[in-house]
A and B are shown apart, each in its own frame.
Chain A
Amino acid sequence: MTEFIQLVLAGTANGCIYGLLALALVLIYRSTHIINFGQGEMAMFSTYICWSFLNAGMGYWVAVPLTLILAFAAGLAVQRILIRPVQSAPELTIVIVTLGLYLFFNSLALWIYSGVPKPFPLPTGVRQASWQVGDIFIVPYHLFIFVVLIVLMLALYVLFQRTKLGLGLRAAAAQPVSSRLVGINVGWMLALGWGIAAAAGALAGILSAPIVQLEPNFMATVLIFSFASATLGGFDSPPGAVVGGIALGNIVALGGRYIEFIGTQLDIVLALVVIVAVLLVRPAGLFGRQAVQRV
């Protein structure tokens, strides 16, 4: 039982990271119906930017917000410069552009920072040593990740549900034509969505880096897990993405331990199994809305 709880705690922490990146995917998908294959690499590159700030002597609590602001601006710029011109092009074109983003940021990171893994520090104020509660060890950083995710979800909830900007963002995503007619600048709303997604992705990278070390491919696996998370939760549901992420983190942690042949090497297979299973049984995901079409 102790081991089980231990696995759930670690799985949840990892799951929060999958959920965050899944959230980024979902925010873009539901407003523009684009799957951004470059999301993970944009997050990876943002994490390198943050590492550079830290390396230059900046404090964690300055470097991280600064990075998130830059990631937001970069996401906005990517949408305005690269995505907007192909917005109405066939889906394949858009997929190729986002794959281009993947390659671009991956190569850029390799070129600037080399492939040598870089250690990434824990946040200032979060201690390394675990707390022991009975037989169970709680890693403070895991708790930190969980709290950050909760705070972010609350902030996004307030933004989307309680502000006028959020109303505009949701409206532009759901019904662009009607939104234009009430005077919403739909183009900018979509760009803002990309900015928010890029910042959420960057946060996923920054939170993940202390656990796995920073190298140019460190978000590639996370991206696959986050695809599975978004599929599980429903590609049009932001809360679903996060719940899906946490669920998947636990599936991977527990599956790796209790299903003998999986171990830690085959855990990505679990993600693919989840994707296939969800698509077979409930294609819209746990929280997604089944697309209904009147014929």
Chain B
Amino acid sequence: MTAILEAKNLRAAYGDRPVIFGIDISVPQGGIVALLGANGAGKTTTLRALLAQTRTWGEITYQGQRINGASTQDLVRMGMVMVPEGRGTFVDFTVEENLRLGAYSRRDSDGIRKDIARVYEYFPVLGQRRNQRAGSMSGGEQQMLAIGRALMARPKLLLLDEPSLGLAPLIVQEIFQILTTINREEGVSMLLVEQDAVRALKVASYAYLLETGRVAMEGPAAQLAGSEDVRRAYLGY
């Protein structure tokens, strides 16, 4: 299977402080890959590095193209879109404005209108609240909005940062269902950072375990989920 994203010897730093020390990761076209690890392992930093949000070194290839040096804006336009941790809601804007902001890199107003309608189909609650201030919604609704906002950019690869954080189990289940639907029906590839390792390994086909900025272990998700060692050492159950 060809890879939509491939990073070789990826390193990243905040200022002078290195956080990622040379990792290799690959996301297959149309696949879901999980990025697991404890707090501070460098999962969020990896996503930020891929989107040119930190100082980054190494070789990053996206859709067969070297993207080192490309700006976040360019990458978003190329379909690499992040759903940030904490949801990144534009709190003082309406739900619909949030979706319009998600489509900021596009110019096709007809397509944007259709995609807003499509997001409302995925998440009916957003349609009901389209003129409501986004910051007044619940955490689950804001997470749905964050995913909807990312969809507005017509992503080919979603970088999802902790979509389950702070949400009730039922909502988490709903969100993961929609994510797998999006992956299956629209062929959107996903790189998923998740604390809830069990759930992540269920939806992902392949997974990496990060430990203080290095890949400690990797393999097919089913294999990692079944391994006693991994479970005890990294997944905490």
On A, residues with C-beta under 8 Å from B are 164, 167-168, 170-171, 174-175, 177-185
Contact = CB atoms under 8 A, between A and B. Distances in A.
Q: Considering residues A167, A174, A182, which has the most beta carbons from chain B within 10 angstroms of its beta carbon?
A: A182
Sorting the interface of chain B by its residue count into under 10, 10 to 19, 20 to 34 or 35 or more gives 20 to 34
A183 B97 CA distance: 15
Contact of B90 (A164, A171, A180): A171
A171 B76 CA distance: 16
B37 interface: no
A179 B84 CA distance: 11
Interface string B71-97: 011001100011010001111110001
Given A170-B93, A182-B102, A184-B104, A175 B88 contact: yes
A174 B89 CA distance: 11
19 contacts: A164-B100, A167-B100, A168-B104, A170-B93, A174-B92, A175-B90, A175-B91, A177-B84, A178-B90, A179-B101, A181-B72, A181-B76, A181-B84, A182-B105, A182-B153, A183-B76, A183-B104, A183-B105, A184-B101
A182 B53 contact: no
B51 interface: yes
B43 interface: no
Contacts of A168: 101, 104
Identify the 8 closest CB pairs spanning chains A and B, nearest first.
A183-B76, A183-B105, A178-B88, A183-B73, A182-B104, A182-B101, A181-B82, A183-B104
A175 B101 CA distance: 11
A181 B51 contact: yes
Contact of B88 (A170, A181, A185): A181
Given A164-B104, A171-B90, A175-B88, A182 B149 contact: yes
Contacts of A164: 100, 104
Interface of A is mostly: helix
Nearest to B100: A167
A89 to B, nearest CB: 14
A143 to B, nearest CB: 35
Contacts, number: 57
Contacts of B88: 175, 177-178, 181
Contacts of B100: 164, 167
A182 B112 CA distance: 14
Contacts of A177: 84, 88
B77 A183 contact: yes
A167 B82 CA distance: 20
Nearest to B76: A183
Contact of B153 (A170, A171, A178, A183): A183
B98 to A, nearest CB: 9
B73 A185 contact: yes
A237 to B, nearest CB: 12
A164 B152 CA distance: 15
A65 B89 CA distance: 38
A185 B153 CA distance: 15
B60 to A, nearest CB: 17
A171 B105 contact: no
Contacts of A170: 93
A167 B92 CA distance: 12
A183 B90 contact: no
B72 A171 contact: no
Nearest to A174: B92
A265 to B, nearest CB: 43
Contacts of A181: 51, 53, 72, 76, 81-82, 84, 88
A180 B153 contact: no
B93 A178 contact: no
Contacts of A185: 73
A177 B161 CA distance: 15
A68 to B, nearest CB: 27
A128 to B, nearest CB: 46
B93 A182 contact: no
Given A178-B88, A183-B76, 19 more contacts: A164-B100, A167-B104, A168-B104, A171-B90, A171-B93, A174-B93, A175-B88, A177-B88, A178-B101, A180-B53, A180-B73, A181-B72, A181-B84, A182-B76, A182-B102, A182-B104, A183-B73, A184-B73, A184-B104
B112 to A, nearest CB: 10
A177 B73 CA distance: 12
Contacts of B81: 181
Nearest to B88: A178
A82 B102 CA distance: 31
Contacts of A175: 88, 90-91
B105 A174 contact: no
A240 to B, nearest CB: 15
Nearest to A289: B92
